[in-house]
Structure 1
Amino acid sequence: MKPLYLLCTFILLSLFMHLTVDWIVPFCETTSSYWFLSNERKINSNAKILVLGDSQIVTGVTPQLIAEMEGVTTDEVLYLPKPSQQPEGILLESLEVLQKVPKLKKVYVNLSPLNTSKNSVTDANRQLFLSFGSFSLDTITHPLLRKAYFSNVTDLSWKIIIKIFPYFGLSSNINRLVYDPIAQSDVLRRQKEFVYIKDSMEKNQGSWVWKFIGDDPTLDVKEEFPPNSSQVLSGKRDLSMLLWFDLIRLWQERGVKVVFLRIPFSPKMEKDILKTKANLVADEFFKTITTEERLKESVAVFDFKSEFLEEYQYFGDLTHLNQKGRDAFAIILKKALFDHTHSSAQGM
């Protein structure tokens, strides 16, 4: 009877967690809430434009802007970025989506030192995937995805445990609420952010000015960015580069054009990145994909890292545009795309 008793206990515990996890997530930090709610996004099979990337896309580019630039309806834009996203997550999303959207013509995605190097965001992305990401066959069968997510049996076992008992995926968030006074004082804001993120998922496919809960956040020009802090971003993560090239191969095989965006960080961060040469890996990648003859017609790069080197008022924090910055960036992006399209047409 004891094994049966344990089995029933585990089943009831799992059921309880699945039924109540929605009540716990609003107490989690912003990125976890976003990943959890992003699972509610619907895939429109008639989509023609796909948008992927991290929180710079979430806060900087809207589905409405992409629709306007591409001359399609907003419903024909499939908007799937996630904060802390890395190339492995973008590849996984692409593999899952390409089979469902046969009319897809173009992909917009952002690339920066945050997703070409090994840094804290890389580790955060892996934990977010284990806690909230889809557990598809591709994560096991694709060698690069398997290396990124399940390099050993322990990782795979942990993912299975979280799928059965979802509270384990929230453990780091819940633990901090117990011992961290800063996390405890942030609870009310987290709950408000959850509501705003949920609203953005329902009305705008998840496009949301980072940390917006009714007031446009603005970066204080006096906020410090410790010198040489971007040094960690200057190294090359070999797996990231393999993933990016595999993504281009995948999109090209499907006849999908790709637009890479380099969205600006805040002035002090961009100047520090320039000082530590943290742009070199991304710049080298951009140069490679724009000079290869076979990619010239299918890949475009728009690099805006030098656009807002003095405009502190355009940023909500060190890495994200605010609403004012989003509006200013939209004007620049529309002009760049128009000029690119016009010059391409003239070249023909």
Structure 2
Amino acid sequence: MKIRYFIFTLFLISIFMHLTWGWFIPYCETTSSYWYLSKTRKINKEAKILVLGDSQIVSGISPDFFAEVEGLSSEDILYFPKPSQQPEGILVDSLELIHQLPKLRKVYVNLSPLNTSKNSVTDANRQLFYSFGNLTKESIIHPLVRKAYFTNLTDLSWKIVILVFPYFGLSSNLNRLVYDPAAQADVTRRKQEFLYIRESMEQRQGSWVWKSIGEDPSLQEEEEFPDKSSLVLAGKRELSVTIWRELAKLWTEKKVKVVFLRIPFSPKMEKDILQTNANVVSDEIFKTVTADFNKEQVAVFDFRSVFLDQYQYFADLTHLNQKGRDVLSLILKSALFDHAHSSTQGM
């Protein structure tokens, strides 16, 4: 009888957590709020273009832009980037979507030193997947995804625990509110950002100028970027490199074209990346995928050098603001228009 009551109590606790955990999301940091709200995205199975990537896509390029350059309606674009996304997360999303989109003909995805090296974003993505990602058959049986997220049985058990008791997925966010004055002072802004992200999900599939709550944030030239702080991005994460190649293979085998984008970072960060040779690994991947597949299957468009002096186009060190998004759209349009229309000939 005691075991029965214990199991019943755990069941009630789980139900309570699932009914109430959404109340706490507005108090979480921006990336967690975005991942939580991204679960509300509707998958249009008639979509012809899929957009994947991280917050550089979220902040830098809207789904309406892709619709315009491809000559399609906005309903034909499935916009699926997430902040702090890594290639393993993109692979999970690809495996989930690949059988749901029979009319898909092209994938756009951004690749940069942030998702080719082992850095803090890699760890953040892992925790975000545990807290908000879907546990699917593909995420367990695919060897590369399993290697990234479930290196042992403990990792898988932790993911299952969070699925059953979702409060555990919020623990790092909520704990900081107890002991961190900076997090406490940030609560009002977090709640505002939650509302703006929710609006963006409802109206623009999650396209949102990063950290914007009505204003257009602008990076100041005097903001410091410590010399050689991008050195951590210069290292090669072999698993990332392998997954990027697997992604290109996965989509091209389905007769889907892949367009890799290199979206610019802020001027000081790009110059520091150049100094530390942090572009080497991503350049190697670009070279490999374009060599392994013909130009009609895989294309690379690199815009790292377009804003090396324009600080006013950035919201912070890594994200474009609205002004930057508008200007990049013009540059992208001229580069992608011919490619997009030549790719669709004969379809």
Instruction: Report the TM-score, using the length of structure 1 for normalisation.
Output: 0.97
Taking the TM superposition and a 5 Å limit, the aligned residue runs for 1:46-195 are 46-195=46-195
Shift of 1:342: 7.8
Unpaired runs of 5+ in structure 2? none
The aligned amino acid for 1:270 is: E
Q: Deviations over 1:268-307 (max 9, x none)?
A: 0000000000000111111122233x33220110000000
8 Å contact kept, 2:53–2:80:
yes
The aligned amino acid for 1:54 is: D
The aligned amino acid for 1:206 is: G
Q: Deviations over 1:6-32 (max 9, x none)?
A: 112111111111111111000000000
* SS class of match (2:261): strand
Unpaired runs of 5+ in structure 1? none
User: 1:22/1:275 Cα in 2 relative to 1: closer, same or farther (>3 Å)?
Assistant: same
Taking the TM superposition and a 5 Å limit, the aligned residue runs for 1:190-339 are 190-292=190-292, 294-339=293-338
Output the CA distance in 2 between the equivalents of 1:341 and 1:153: 44
The aligned amino acid for 1:204 is: R
Q: Deviations over 1:230-284 (max 9, x none)?
A: 0000011000011011101100110000110000000000000000000001111
User: 1:344/1:202 Cα in 2 relative to 1: closer, same or farther (>3 Å)?
Assistant: closer
Output the CA distance in 1 between the equivalents of 2:250 and 2:215: 41
The aligned amino acid for 2:18 is: H
The aligned amino acid for 1:125 is: N
The aligned amino acid for 2:104 is: L
8 Å contact kept, 2:296–2:343:
no
The aligned amino acid for 2:337 is: F
User: 1:343/1:98 Cα in 2 relative to 1: closer, same or farther (>3 Å)?
Assistant: closer
Alignment of 1:2 with 2:6, yes or no, is no
User: 1:245/1:7 Cα in 2 relative to 1: closer, same or farther (>3 Å)?
Assistant: same
* SS class of match (2:104): coil
Shift of 1:341: 5.6
**Which residue number corresponds to residue 30 of structure 1?**
30
Output the CA distance in 2 between the equivalents of 1:291 and 1:161: 43
Output the CA distance in 1 between the equivalents of 2:142 and 2:276: 34
CA RMSD of aligned residues (A): 1.4
Q: Deviations over 1:24-63 (max 9, x none)?
A: 0000000000000000111101100000000000011101
Output the CA distance in 1 between the equivalents of 2:41 and 2:343: 35
Output the CA distance in 2 between the equivalents of 1:71 and 1:173: 42
Q: Deviations over 1:202-227 (max 9, x none)?
A: 10000000001011111111110010
Output the CA distance in 1 between the equivalents of 2:164 and 2:288: 44
Output the CA distance in 1 between the equivalents of 2:132 and 2:139: 14
Output the CA distance in 1 between the equivalents of 2:323 and 2:148: 36
* SS class of match (1:278): coil
Output the CA distance in 1 between the equivalents of 2:295 and 2:216: 39
Shift of 1:95: 0.9
The aligned amino acid for 1:215 is: E
Q: Deviations over 1:178-206 (max 9, x none)?
A: 00000000000000000000000010000
Aligned residues: 345
The aligned amino acid for 1:5 is: Y
Output the CA distance in 2 between the equivalents of 1:105 and 1:5: 53
Output the CA distance in 2 between the equivalents of 1:82 and 1:342: 27
Percent identical residues: 68
* SS class of match (2:42): coil
Shift of 1:163: 0.3
Shift of 1:5: 1.9
Output the CA distance in 2 between the equivalents of 1:11 and 1:48: 42
